[in-house]
Amino acid sequence: MTILVTGGLGFIGSHTVVELINQGHECVIIDNLSKSTIDVVNRIEMVTHKKVSFIKVEMLDKTAIRKVFQQFSISAVIHFAGYKSVGESVKQPLLYYQNNLFSTLNLLDVMQEFAVKKLVFSSSATVYGDTSIPPLTENLPLSAPNPYGRSKLMLEEILRDLVEANTEWSVALMRYFNPIGAHTSGLLGEMPYDTPNNLMPHVLKVASGESAKLQIFGGDYETLDGSCIRDFIHIMDLAKGHVKALQYVEQHTGCEAFNIGTGVGYSVLSLLRTFEIVTGEKVPYEIINRREGDIVISIADVQKAENMLNWKAQYQLEDMCVDSWRWYQSIKGYV
């Protein structure tokens, strides 16, 4: 039986495919290559020493998805495909709703058609909004501050409705905290195609001399050093969490949300300090105004994932920094 991985050439998708293959799963990747390149297939093959099935599919085209289900005997789906830039979503909300919602609805329709009822869905801790006090537990009230976040929240609700109406379905909603790091081989990581939005890609650009200074958004928050606090998680831990979630949906029915974080928070400044120590590189920075929409502290309560998925993050912040830097150096001048 084959696991379908949508968006499998992206940052989280590609690392998850590696982990799935390492655990003996057969995978087929679909991706529209809008935020990735075909070269990632070679990289996955180099890391795993296995051939990977890849099909370029635009998920807004339901017929194209159907063809994949006709060609392969799919037993479960891990769905990563979707746009993820908050800023872009604010400027182009329709693009985000259209892409993230319609592609998922198409996928669900085809899954129904082929009686494939097991899904691991890529959600985000952004669904906790900005009012809850950490550590954040899965049963908190949800809200989303921007179209990207709302698209994730809407999809969570759609999936809950689907499971409510079809009790044979099994869905895991994976609420990621802040994934960073890269595969320890240095062969796989986050491809720096677009202007970076998140913290680590900016840190890497500054450390490598491509940007002069990191801008830290706000130094007057009510935290120990005045910068925001995040639950950074190594991408390989996150990938392993998906393999556990797959096992979970294979053995249960219903819809469950899981926080995928470490349960430990580090400030932006302490991430920077750790990065400098473990890599030996300087990261000049300046503290500027707060970024609109930023929450002060985001930390996962990881008890549920530990108890129900038998999964716990293993990597430390030091590993995340070293692995991110190794990866970035290996692709310098490549893209």
Residue 150 makes contact with ligand UD1 by CB under 6 A: no
What is the 8-class DSSP label of residue 127?
Answer: G
Give the footprint of ligand UD1 on residues 246-285 (CB under 6 A). Answer: 268
Residue 204 makes contact with ligand UD1 by CB under 6 A: no
Question: Which of these segments, 64-72, 161-169, 198-206, 237-245, binds ligand UD1 (CB under 6 A)?
Answer: 198-206
Residue 197 makes contact with ligand UD1 by CB under 6 A: yes
Of 96, 128, 148, 285, catalytic? 148
Residue 154 makes contact with ligand UD1 by CB under 6 A: no
Among 111, 101, 128, CA closest to 261: 128
Residue 215 makes contact with ligand UD1 by CB under 6 A: yes
Assess whether the previous peptide bond of 135 is cis (omega < 30° from 0): yes
Residue 155 makes contact with ligand UD1 by CB under 6 A: no
End-to-end CA distance of the chain: 35
Residue 230 makes contact with ligand UD1 by CB under 6 A: yes
Binds ligand UD1 (CB under 6 A): choice among 103, 124, 259, 279: 124
Beta strands in the chain (DSSP E): 2-6, 26-31, 53-56, 74-79, 118-124, 170-176, 178-180, 214-217, 229-230, 232-234, 254-260, 266-267, 285-288, 297-298
Residue 228 makes contact with ligand UD1 by CB under 6 A: yes
Please report how close the Cβ of residue 95 comes to ligand UD1 at its closest, in angstroms.
Answer: 17
Among 103, 16, 90, 22, CA closest to 58: 103
Quote the CA–CA distance of 243 and 240 in Å, as a whole number: 5
Residue 294 makes contact with ligand UD1 by CB under 6 A: yes
| Tokens coding 72 | 């392969």
Please report how close the Cβ of residue 97 comes to ligand UD1 at its closest, in angstroms.
Answer: 16
Residue 293 makes contact with ligand UD1 by CB under 6 A: yes
Annotated active-site residue 148? The verdict is yes
What is the 8-class DSSP label of residue 33?
Answer: S
Please report how close the Cβ of residue 193 comes to ligand UD1 at its closest, in angstroms.
Answer: 15
Residues that bind ligand UD1 (CB under 6 A): 84, 86, 124, 126, 149, 178, 197-199, 202, 215-217, 228, 230, 268, 291, 293-294, 298
